[in-house]
Amino acid sequence: MFENNSPTPYSSTSKVGIEPTFFGKVMSFFAMGMLSSVIGIFIAQKYLIIVFLNAPFLMWGLFIAELALIFTSRKWSTKVPLNRFLFALFTFISGVTLAPLISLVAAMPEGVPMITKALAATVLMFGATGLVGWTTKIDLSGLRGFLIMGIIGMIIVGVAGLFFPWGNTFELIFSGAGVILFSAFTMYDFQKIKKYPEDRYVDAALALYLDIFNLFIYILRFIMAFNRR
């Protein structure tokens, strides 16, 4: 996207003319990530679903690649043009890994309306919590510890669910907790945008992308569980 650095995160002019603000760079990468994910979902649904069914280990390989890109992001996020390529690659892979869930839900009775509701709810929730985080005068930095503990707890419970499947009521509680957790993450990350160093716009965009990606998944799971009642 835009690679020229400005003297401060919010300056909009330079000696050579107009250049984007830090927030503009963040949202440009965020928009690129959303588009890349949509392309990943489309390609996976059209060409890869059968491949994943025949070779499920490939999906685990993609999950590992996602984790590797996340945990190494601070090493490549400021390196142009590598940051563009790896950010687009990560969001594309995320779209590919989301495609099986989308296909599964779409094949269910009332599946497409559920996806539509989840998308609308995600956009509204992300926009509302992001606006709160951006405009509030309350310092949300104190939430960081609770958010990290929350996501660790969600991971532990999620892994346990692979071995001890839970009922629909617990799914409602678990997915509802996920919606609350990533709504709080969205508020926190939008406020944190104001504190990033000038060259860390990809880190900020990645944080927002992970917020909306996970928010959509948990909202969709919540709607599915609610409809099964």
User: Residue 18: its pLDDT value, please?
Assistant: 59
**Per-residue pLDDT tens for 172-226?**
999 999 999 999 999 999 999 999 999 999 999 999 999 999 999 999 999 999 9
Instruction: Of 163, 39, 148, 153, give the one whose Cα is nearest residue 99.
Output: 39
- Whole-angstrom distance, CA of residue 35 vs CA of residue 225: 28
Helices (H), 10-81: 22-43, 49-54, 57-71, 73-76
**Per-residue pLDDT tens for 126-159?**
999 999 999 999 999 999 999 999 999 998 998 8
- Whole-angstrom distance, CA of residue 41 vs CA of residue 95: 5
**Per-residue pLDDT tens for 77-112?**
999 999 999 999 999 999 999 999 999 999 888 889
Q: 3-class SS at 194?
A: helix
Question: Is-above-0.95 flag for pTM?
Answer: no
The full set of domain ranges for the chain reads: 13-227
Instruction: Of 210, 129, 224, 127, give the one whose Cα is nearest residue 175.
Output: 224
For residue 19, which phi and psi values (nearest 5 degrees)? -135, 160
- Whole-angstrom distance, CA of residue 15 vs CA of residue 6: 10
Distances, alpha carbon 127 to alpha carbons 39, 204, 215, in Å: 23, 16, 12
